[in-house]
Amino acid sequence: MIPESEIVVSVIVPCYNYGHFLPETLSCIANQSCNKWECLIIDDGSTDDTAHVAKRFVEKDARFKYYHQQNGGLSDARNTGVKLSKGRFLQFLDADDLIHKHKLDLHAMYLQNHTAVDIVYGDSLFFETQQPNIYFKGKQAKDIKAANKPKISGRGLPIIKELLINNIFTVSAPLIRRTVFEDVGYFDLSYTAYEDWQFWFRCATGNKYFEYAPLSGTETYIRMGHASMMTNKKKMVHNGITLRKFMNLLLPLKLKPYNWYRLLKLSVKNRVTVR
């Protein structure tokens, strides 16, 4: 058991009925080259064998901790993990995804050596369960848009501009200082999609420093080809409208016309009137 004062990274794994993927995800944490971690498995009201799977890992390694709560959604589960965690740095990892065995070590070292950086992130690769050793730069092999995602460092307006266009990384790509949550707050529970995008936008408008550090061994691997919360297009459009309206409140005047353009496109898609 690691003393709380020595925990460097808290890995937060929200899980809702992904017990069949959970062993692989937790194993990739157990095999990290960094050993000063804790892993908080937040069971968000699962009805499958998530509890059984999680408790197997808890029994083998006290660094794994299992918590069960009533189903409150992904944002609520992540927030629970943040509030219960003890580490100086926080790593989110969805229950069906993976990270490279050196990610915690290398990104934690980076934050320790670069005290001005609040959020450090690397590259995301995508894979299918049926072909776990074949990685794509986007959700499909020919996803040029994803392959050309911005790789940007800085704070303030440059980051805000990129986040205005699109989310700049997956939720498991960054390692985040605990102080970011103390300053910016938690994930917004009103979002059932794009909650991470909205959080990064708040970080950017809160002047947090983002650093792109794609060190070899810091990759995160996103599983594709199965049912997920990202498949409901109506929900995505609705949350996109909510996000664009939120952004408009914080954007400087010169960036608002583009945001209104994107909001109008979403509204037409959703057949609603922008107010």
pLDDT reading at 239 higher than 80:
yes
Residue with tokens 């936008």: 201
Closest CA to 122 of 180, 168, 167, 154: 168
pLDDT reading at 228 higher than 60:
no
Q: What CA–CA distance (Å, rounded) separates 8 from 120?
A: 15
Strands in the chain per DSSP E: 9-15, 37-44, 64-69, 89-92, 98-99, 119-121, 124-128, 131-136, 174-177, 210-212, 220-224
Pairing of strands 174-177, 89-92: antiparallel
Comparison of pLDDT for 135 and 244, the residue scoring more: 244
State the pLDDT at residue 145.
Answer: 47
Average pLDDT for 181-207: 97
pLDDT reading at 144 higher than 50:
no
Please give the DSSP secondary-structure letter assigned to residue 198.
H
Comparison of pLDDT for 129 and 115, the residue scoring more: 115
Q: How confident is the model at residue 1 (pLDDT cuts 50, 70, 90)?
A: low
pLDDT reading at 43 higher than 50:
yes
Proportion of the chain above pLDDT 90, given as a percent: 82
Average pLDDT for 68-84: 98
State the pLDDT at residue 119.
Answer: 98
- Judge contact between 135 and 123, C-beta under 8 A: no
Q: Six-digit token pair at 199?
A: 């959080």
Average pLDDT for 13-20: 97
| CATH architecture for residues 4-231 | Alpha-Beta Complex (3.90)
State the pLDDT at residue 274.
Answer: 46
pLDDT reading at 149 higher than 80:
no
pLDDT reading at 230 higher than 70:
no
- Domain ranges (residues) in the chain: 4-231, 232-270
Q: Six-digit token pair at 90?
A: 């926080």
Q: Compute CA distances 256 → 159, 164, 215, whole Å.
A: 15, 10, 35
Comparison of pLDDT for 25 and 133, the residue scoring more: 25
Q: What CA–CA distance (Å, rounded) separates 95 from 274?
A: 36
Q: How confident is the model at residue 139 (pLDDT cuts 50, 70, 90)?
A: low
pLDDT reading at 142 higher than 50:
no
Average pLDDT, the chain: 92
Q: Burial-class residue 253 by CB neighbours within 10 Å (0-12, 13-18, 19+).
A: exposed
